Amino acid sequence: MLSFIVALVLAAAVFFFAVGTLGILRFPDFYTRLHAAGKCDTLASMLALFAVALFTLQDWTFAELLVSLKILAIAGFVFIASPTACHAITRAALVLGVEPWERREGKK
């Protein structure tokens, strides 16, 4: 039962990683690519870490709980660091004057 849930969460993580990667390839400019890179990866890595933390808790011993907590601490760090980095890169690009892609009517 536990490994079934873990596999499900891992599959979701792989899906969002794949979408993030595809997004980097398909989006038209720097900023939109950053969306794909910064967001999907945050969710995907948190899902993956959560799955690993869950998988560690096979017997509910104290040692396993500590390992799980460490893994969850990594997830917490990603949760704070990822949007901060994303914001910093976006702002740096705007300050440097990287032109955002805009949709123009009648032109694709």
Partner 1 sequence: MARLITFVILFLFWIMLSGMFDAFHLSLGVLSCALVAWLSSDLLFAGGKLPSSPRSLIGLALYLPWLFWQIVVANVQVAAIVLHPRMLERINPQIIRFRTRLKTPFARVTFGQSITLTPGTITVNVDGDEFTVYALTDDSAGSLPGEMERRVAAALEGEKV
Q: Residue type at 79? A: F
**6 touches 54 (CB < 8 A):** yes
What's the CA gap between 87 and 1, in Å, rounded?
39
Of 2-10, 16-24, 53-61: span binding partner 1 (CB under 8 A) = 16-24
Task: Kindly give, in sequence order, each residue whose CB lies less than 8 Å from that of residue 62, ignoring residues fewer than 6 positions away.
Answer: none
Least distance from partner 1 to the Cβ atom of residue 98, Å: 12
27 binds partner 1 (CB under 8 A): yes
What's the CA gap between 81 and 70, in Å, rounded?
16
Which listed residue (7, 28, 61, 98) binds partner 1 by CB under 8 A?
28
Question: Contact residues for partner 1 (CB under 8 A)?
Answer: 15-16, 19, 22-23, 26-29, 31-32, 34-36, 38-40, 42-43, 63, 66, 69-70, 73, 79-80, 82-84, 86-87, 90-91, 94, 100-103, 108
